[in-house]
Amino acid sequence: MIVFLNGEFLPESEAVVPVSDRGFLYGDGLFETLRIIRGRPFRLGQHLERLSRGSEFLKIKIPHTPKEIQKFAEQLADKNGLKDAVLRITLTRGSGERGYSPKGADKPTLVMTLHPAPPIDDLVEWALITSSYRIPASDPISSFKTTSKLLHVMARLEAEEKGANEALLINTNGEVAEATSGNLFWIYHDNVCTVPTGRGVLPGITRAIILEICQSMELETSKRVIKPEALRNSQGIFISQSVLGIVPVTSFDGVPVEPSPLVDQIAHNYCELLANA
3-state secondary structure 57-112: HHCCCCCCCHHHHHHHHHHHHHHCCCCCEEEEEEEECCECCCCCCCCCCCCCEEEE
pLDDT per position as a tens digit, 29-76: 999 999 999 999 999 999 999 999 999 999 999 999 999 999 999 999
The topology (CATH level 3) of 2-115 is D-amino Acid Aminotransferase; Chain A, domain 1 (3.30.470)
Single-letter amino acid code for the residue at 274: L
pLDDT per position as a tens digit, 204-216: 999 999 999 999 9
Of the chain, the percentage scoring pLDDT greater than 90 comes to 91
- pLDDT bin (cut points 50, 70, 90) of residue 119 is confident
- How far from each other are the two terminal CA atoms of the chain, in whole angstroms? 25
pLDDT per position as a tens digit, 129-158: 999 999 999 889 988 999 999 999 999 999
Single-letter amino acid code for the residue at 133: Y
Residues of the chain with CATH 3.30.470.10: 2-115
Q: Which of 30, 46, 27 is nearest to 204 (CA)?
A: 46
CATH of domain 126-275: 3.20.10.10
Residues of the chain with CATH 3.20.10.10: 126-275
